[in-house]
């Protein structure tokens, strides 16, 4: 997709006057009372680490410069450690822990539920709110821990979207029912059939997950999870049938169907299973910006409040095309290995580029043209967790001894500033967020919990 | 650039640990494990396993006689675990997208199915009466849900028939709705085995329907057909396991399952459609193994030294042979030593070239892991990792891979592990990343292809890939690994120390019966462990 096309899409969205605030959607999406910001939480992951050198001088260094305009709304939390070993294995372990704080049992799955999912099921379980997860780094789903960031539990990922059109469809296709008058009798009957089939399916799974089930607790849990997914599907299908009024965000024109581009590797090409889209895609930046626009729109419209984003993946092997002109022809991952404090090799430029992507997303949420019903911008009323899977105080980047995270926005409750918590765990951070969102005092592996950070007002 | 090998490879495989101890596969010295504890192996957690993508589409074909192209639907692929295969029960994920896909595919599959024919076969009457549609539900449910339909479930399905009636439709429309619901049933999507009355860790023998299901997924990678279920219903399946396994092996579904197995065992699914000649390359490998297994029914170890191949004209040209035909034709390769057997198939070489600059290691690890069933655990110590990084010889050094990794392997830190798999990769030095035969690398270094192999029962020097392949073909360790991989796939989980017994016994039977694929499948099917249900926690 060309830049022109993206602009055209955004222009189209603007001309149909996407509604603000989204009061009409309140009942449908179980929103908070008018004037009160509903809880929102989004995690944003970028791959291949953030060494101490890049953060030790706050936002004055070149790497973090893109985030400097937002520093009054950012908490920078430095010096954390992950309770993991493993060299290159830390790519998946650190990624699997991000937003979960649990040791992963394998490359296939994190150790448990992600914070966004807990927020979603706790604070919006009966609504049609979308748990929205998008990524611009594809591994073909394998290993799953590097691709999925939102998980219901072990082996239970939530959907992760890549293509902007899929993100658009998730937001405006699923949540914007067609005009009731546009359906034929046959279409109405087919919807009714589908709902009845799903109803029957729900009954079957409910029966097998009940106390009457002849299966073990583990198997019943498996069936029970499937049951919840079918129920969710059924709820959305019923919504189609009952034709609830659309939310007040009018549907903008769909973006063009663009797929992140990428050159073939030795054996794989775009679209192939196990192919990595990464920072090397020629339109990678454009995909990120378009998906960021869509994600921000979903938050503004009240279609989603909890979810995840990823703007690159740990361990990927693709150079950033925009940086080739600066002589950086290796991927951030490859550069991270030999990187030292004394000898910058371009890794710093790569990380700065990634911070520009983070800043772009924050800017969309912080756009004053879209005031939040509770006052301020959407960013002001949203907790955005930003982080990566690696961080070191020393040279080689493949360590987890000095991790840096950010909390943007903070939902009005988390202080901005720079905070050093050397040696403390990621679980302490996630528990702090969890408590701030009234999701419980602790989140993550209990063994790694040492107490909350003094960040919450 | 880091590591004792390339970074990209390590990141992708996470397999190298230069100070690690090698760990063997399930086979080895026959264990003294005969007894109740040893028998408590079974399929493990497989009592609640979801069907894999392949199993799901194969099963649709069995129960509805529809042939849907999996690539046309958004059913996610399953994870491949580091130990191989995409059917590890403990690693099967369930996402919302998958559940949506089940809904959409069920609708499409029923739309494509001959519902009238199914009604004709499974309904004894077609009036809109309870006895008629209950009879249909019971009979077709036995097939789709792989066992008798419970009273409670029959009520769920009956409501759908009533709905069709309310809409003014007839029996067939109601039957179509019932089928859509059954195809999303937990009894179709999952392989469930009852644990009523059992305690965790206790074993019991499978019942007749569970047996039918296990056998069909073993041989066909698919749900059981009516004949198996009829035998289960009549209580005579257990006495006819051999005959049924032979019947299933003779069915084209067994070939489909075999291709799916080979694709995963040899990582052929890493070769995409877009890869030049990729389809032809894979077809060569499938045809080679299918000929040995189905047409000739010979020792599977012959695959390593087979000197006859079916090649497309384009692939023959790629191999430097004058094409006999534009399509596939049989080629005598006895005078082409660089194309001897399975391991010199371009598909196998390309699939295991993750990083061209370290293909020697990629391929060496493949031989170690997937042909000898031995592995090196990944490094856990960050300090070790950092030390390893210091030793690496850059890819741009101008040295051949043999020279680069030879320098690194001189380091004690690296030798422990690289000494195991580097020599195995040297056999493929003369093959480029796409499997093309080369005699010098991009730096102009001559490539020779000889080395030593000292793994398992093989301890030999080899001058070229032909001698290497011959050594593997004669190896009992490799033959045991061939059996172990099939057991692992059949059980749908990683093999461990507790599986030594079943692996040894299956191999003994496989070995005694000429090491044919048929013998291997039979040995797995009749082994007591395969017929045991263990309660999952």
Taking the C-alpha atoms of residue B16 and residue B4, their distance in angstroms, rounded to an integer, is: 8
Identify all chain A residues contacting B90, using CB atoms and an 8 Å cutoff: 106, 155
Tell whether B442 lies on the interface with A, counting CB pairs under 8 A.
no
- Which of B436, B172, B466 is closest to B305 using CA atoms? B466
**Antiparallel, parallel or unpaired: β A383-387 and A41-45:** parallel
Nearest CA in chain A to B167: A189
CA distance A404 to A421: 10
Q: What's the pLDDT score for residue B410?
A: 77
The partner residue sitting opposite A233, judged by closest CB among B103, B107, B196, is B103
Q: Is the pLDDT of residue A242 over 70?
A: no
B396 touches chain A (CB under 8 A): no
Cβ–Cβ gap A204/B48 under 8 Å? no
ipTM for this model? 0.87
Query: Are A268 and B106 a contacting pair at CB < 8 A?
Result: no
Q: CA B443, CA B423: separation in Å to the nearest integer?
A: 21
Q: What is the pLDDT of residues B185-234, one digit of tens each?
A: 999 999 998 877 766 667 788 899 999 999 999 999 999 999 999 999 99
User: Considering only residues 335 to 374 of chain B, which have any Cβ-Cβ distance to chain A shorter than 8 Å?
Assistant: 350-351, 353-356
Asked if A140's CB is within 8 angstroms of B77's CB, the reply is yes
- Tokens in use for A388? 């990566």
Three-state SS for A432? helix
Percent of residues in chain B assigned helix, strand, coil, to nearest 5: 55, 5, 35
Domain ranges of chain B: 114-188
Name the percent of chain A lying above pLDDT 70: 77
Tens of pLDDT, residue by residue over B326-366, are 999 999 999 999 999 999 999 999 988 877 777 888 899 99
pLDDT over 80 (residue A72): yes
Examine the pLDDT at A380 and tell me if it is beyond 90: yes
CB B516 within 8 A of CB B213: no
Average pLDDT over residues B461-481: 96
* Confidence at residue B36, expressed as pLDDT on a 0 to 100 scale: 34
Strand-pairing partners, residue A134, are A161, A309
pLDDT tens digit string along A247-286? 446 566 666 655 555 444 444 444 444 444 443 456 778 8
Q: Cβ contacts (< 8 Å) between B91 and chain A: which residues?
A: 106, 108-109, 155
Average pLDDT, chain B: 87
Backbone angles phi, psi at A304, to 5 degrees: -135, 155
- Per the omega criterion (within 30 degrees of 0), is the bond before A269 cis? no
Task: Tell me whether strands B451-455 and B458-462 are parallel, antiparallel or unpaired.
Answer: antiparallel
> What 8-state DSSP symbol labels residue A50?
-
Cβ-Cβ contacts under 8 Å for A292 (sequence gap 6 or more): A309, A357, A360, A361, A364
In the predicted structure, residue A61 carries a pLDDT above the cut 90: yes
- Residue B40 burial (CB count, 10 A): 14
Q: How many CB atoms lie within 10 A of CB B35?
A: 9
| Residue pLDDT, tens place only, B277-301 | 999 999 999 999 999 999 999 999 9
Percent of chain B whose predicted confidence (pLDDT) is above 70: 87
More confident position, A429 or A135: A429
Tokens of A264: 């073939």
Average pLDDT over residues B526-536: 83
Which CATH number does A3-176+249-448 carry? 3.40.720.10
Apex B61 CA angle, B186 and A224, nearest 5: 10
The answer to whether B378 and B17 have CB atoms below 8 angstroms apart is: yes
Structure-token pair, residue B187: 């009894």
How many Å separate Cα B10 from the centre of its chain? 23
Answer yes or no: are the C-beta atoms of B393 and B355 closer than 8 Å.
no
Of the candidates A256, A242, A257, the one whose C-alpha atom is nearest the C-alpha of residue A177 is A242
pLDDT at A258: 59
Q: Supply angle C-alpha B72, B101, B491, rounded to 5.
A: 95
Residue B192's φ and ψ, nearest 5 degrees, are -110, 135
pLDDT for B360: 87
Alpha-carbon distances of B65 from A8, A94, B68, B253, rounded to whole Å: 47, 46, 10, 12
Alpha-carbon gap, residue A149 to A130, rounded angstroms: 15
Q: Give residue B385's pLDDT.
A: 62
B357 interaction partners in chain A (CB closer than 8 Å): none
Chain B residues 477-536 with a CB less than 8 Å from chain A: 535-536
Six token digits for residue B70: 């999996």
Summarize the confidence of residues B158-176 as an average pLDDT: 93
Beta carbons of B14 and A218 less than 8 Å apart: no
pLDDT interval class at A12 (50, 70, 90): very low
CA A6 – CA A19 distance, rounded (Å): 20
Cis peptide, bond prior to residue B156, ω within 30 of zero: no
Chain A CB contacts of B96 under 8 Å are 158-159, 229, 232-233
d(CA A148, CA A282): 23
pLDDT exceeds 60 at position B322: yes
pLDDT in tens, A394-410: 877 788 999 999 999 88
A199: which chain B residues are within 8 Å (Cβ-Cβ)? 159
State residue B423 phi and psi, 5-degree precision: -60, -25
**Contact yes or no for B418/B405 (Cβ under 8 A):** yes
Strands B329-332 and A417-420: unpaired
Per-residue burial over A25-50, b if 16 or more Cβ lie within 10 Å, else e, is bbebbbbbeeeebbbbbbbbbbbbbb
Which of chain A's residues have a Cβ under 8 Å away from the Cβ of B100? 233
Sign of CA dihedral A441, A446, A452, A457: negative
- Would you kindly state where each structural domain of chain A is located, as residue ranges? 3-176+249-448, 178-245
Which residue of A86, A133, A197, A265 to mutate against B (max B Cβ within 10 Å)?
A197
What is the rounded distance in angstroms from the CA atom of residue B75 to the CA atom of residue B53?
7
For chain A, the average pLDDT equals: 81
Query: Inter-chain contact A266–B355, Cβ cutoff 8 Å?
Result: yes
Is B449 in contact with B437 (CB distance < 8 Å)? no
Mean pLDDT of B52-79: 93
The yes-or-no verdict on residue B468 having pLDDT over 60 is yes
Backbone angles phi, psi at B72, to 5 degrees: -85, -5
Determine which of A370-379, A415-424, B393-402 has the lowest per-residue pLDDT on average.
B393-402
Residues in A closer than 8 angstroms to B80, CB to CB, are 142
CA atoms within 13 A on the CB side of B199: 0
Residues in chain B: 537
| The predicted structure's pLDDT at residue B47 | 63
């Amino acid at each position: 997709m060309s830049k022109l096309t993206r602009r055209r899409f955004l222009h189209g969205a603007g001309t149909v006057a996407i509604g603000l605030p989204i009061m009409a959607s309140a009942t449908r999406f179980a929103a908070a009372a008018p004037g009160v910001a509903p809880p929102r939480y989004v995690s944003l992951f970028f791959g291949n680490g953030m060494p101490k050198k890049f953060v030790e001088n706050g936002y004055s260094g070149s790497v973090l410069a893109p985030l400097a305009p937002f520093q009054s709304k950012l908490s920078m939390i430095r010096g954390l450690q992950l309770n993991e070993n493993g060299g290159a294995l830390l790519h998946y372990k650190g990624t699997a822990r991000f937003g979960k704080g649990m040791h992963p049992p394998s490359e296939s799955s994190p150790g448990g539920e992600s914070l966004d999912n807990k927020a979603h099921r706790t604070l919006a379980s009966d609504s049609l709110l979308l748990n929205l997860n998008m990524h611009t780094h594809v591994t073909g789903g394998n290993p799953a821990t590097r691709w999925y960031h939102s998980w219901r539990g072990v082996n239970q990922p939530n959907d992760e979207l890549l293509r902007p059109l899929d993100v658009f469809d998730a937001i405006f296709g699923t949540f914007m029912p067609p005009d009731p008058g546009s359906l034929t009798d046959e279409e109405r009957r087919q919807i009714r059939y589908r709902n009845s089939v799903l109803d029957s399916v729900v009954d079957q799974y409910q029966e097998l997950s009940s106390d009457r089930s002849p299966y073990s607790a583990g198997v019943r849990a498996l069936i029970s999870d499937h049951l919840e997914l079918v129920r969710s599907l059924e709820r959305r299908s019923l919504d189609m049938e009952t034709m609830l009024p659309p939310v007040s965000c009018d549907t903008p024109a769909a973006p063009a169907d663009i797929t992140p581009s990428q050159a073939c590797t030795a054996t794989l090409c775009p679209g192939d299973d196990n192919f990595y889209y990464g920072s090397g895609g020629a339109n990678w930046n454009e995909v990120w910006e378009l998906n960021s626009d869509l994600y921000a729109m979903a938050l503004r419209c009240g279609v989603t409040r909890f979810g995840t984003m990823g703007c690159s993946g740990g361990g990927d092997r693709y150079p950033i095309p925009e940086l080739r002109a600066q002589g950086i022809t290796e991927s951030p991952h490859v550069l991270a290995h030999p990187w030292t404090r004394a000898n910058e090799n371009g890794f710093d430029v790569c990380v700065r580029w990634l911070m520009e992507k983070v800043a772009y997303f924050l800017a969309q949420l912080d756009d004053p043209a879209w005031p939040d019903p509770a006052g301020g911008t959407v960013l002001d009323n949203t907790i955005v967790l930003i982080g990566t899977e690696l961080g070191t105080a020393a040279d080689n980047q493949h360590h987890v001894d000095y991790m840096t995270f950010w909390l943007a926005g903070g939902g009005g409750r988390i202080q901005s500033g720079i905070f050093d918590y050397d040696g403390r765990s990621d679980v302490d951070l996630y528990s702090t967020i969890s408590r701030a969102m009234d999701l419980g005092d602790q989140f993550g592996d209990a063994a790694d919990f040492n107490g909350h950070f003094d960040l919450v007002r | 650039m880091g590591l004792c090998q390339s970074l990209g490879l390590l990141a992708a495989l996470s397999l190298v640990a230069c100070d690690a101890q090698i760990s063997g596969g399930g086979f080895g010295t026959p264990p003294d494990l005969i007894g109740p504890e040893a028998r408590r192996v079974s399929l493990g957690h497989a009592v609640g396993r979801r069907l894999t993508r392949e199993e799901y589409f194969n099963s649709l074909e069995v129960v509805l006689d529809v042939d849907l192209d999996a690539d046309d639907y958004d059913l996610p692929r399953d994870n491949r675990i580091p130990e191989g295969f995409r059917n590890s029960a403990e690693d099967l994920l369930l996402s919302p997208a998958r559940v949506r896909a089940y809904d959409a595919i069920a609708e499409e599959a029923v739309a494509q199915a001959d519902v009238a024919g199914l009604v004709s076969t499974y309904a004894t009457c077609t009036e809109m009466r309870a006895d008629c549609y209950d009879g249909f539900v019971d009979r077709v449910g036995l097939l789709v849900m792989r066992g008798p339909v419970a009273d409670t479930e029959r009520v769920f399905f009956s409501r759908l028939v009533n709905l069709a009636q309310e809409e003014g439709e007839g029996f067939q429309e109601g039957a179509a709705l019932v089928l859509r619901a059954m195809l999303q049933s937990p009894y179709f999507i999952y392989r469930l085995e009852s644990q009523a009355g059992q305690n965790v860790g206790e074993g019991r023998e499978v019942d007749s329907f569970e047996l039918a299901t296990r056998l069909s997924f073993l041989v066909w990678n698919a749900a059981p057909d009516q004949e198996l279920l009829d035998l289960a219903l009549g209580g005579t399946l257990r006495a006819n396991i051999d005959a049924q396994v032979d019947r299933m092996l003779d069915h084209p579904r067994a070939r489909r399952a075999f291709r799916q197995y080979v694709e995963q065992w040899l990582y052929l699914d890493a070769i995409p459609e877009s890869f030049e000649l990729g389809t032809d390359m894979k077809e060569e490998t499938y045809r080679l193994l299918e000929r040995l297994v189905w047409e000739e029914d010979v020792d599977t170890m012959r695959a390593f030294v087979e000197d006859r191949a079916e090649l497309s004209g384009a692939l023959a040209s790629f191999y430097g042979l004058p094409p006999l035909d534009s399509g596939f034709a049989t080629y005598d390769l006895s005078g082409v030593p660089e194309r001897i057997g399975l391991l010199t198939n371009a598909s196998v070489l390309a699939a295991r070239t993750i990083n061209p600059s370290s293909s020697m290691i990629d391929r060496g690890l493949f031989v170690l892991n997937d042909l000898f069933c031995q592995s090196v655990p990944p490094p856990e110590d960050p300090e070790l990792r950092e030390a390893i990084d210091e030793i690496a010889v850059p890819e741009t050094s101008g040295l051949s891979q043999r020279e680069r990794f030879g320098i690194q392997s001189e380091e004690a830190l690296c030798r422990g592990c690289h000494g195991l798999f580097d020599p195995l990769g040297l056999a493929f030095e003369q093959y480029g990343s796409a499997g093309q035969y080369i005699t010098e690398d991009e730096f102009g270094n001559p490539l020779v292809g000889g080395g030593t192999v000292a793994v398992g029962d093989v301890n030999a020097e080899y001058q070229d890939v032909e001698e290497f392949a011959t050594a593997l073909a004669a190896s009992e360790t490799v033959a045991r690994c061939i059996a172990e991989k099939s057991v692992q796939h059949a059980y749908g989980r990683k093999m461990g120390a507790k599986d030594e017994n079943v692996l040894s016994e299956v191999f003994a039977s496989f070995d005694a019966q000429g090491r044919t694929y048929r013998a291997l499948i039979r040995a797995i099917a009749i082994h007591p462990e395969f017929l045991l249900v263990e309660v999952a926690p």
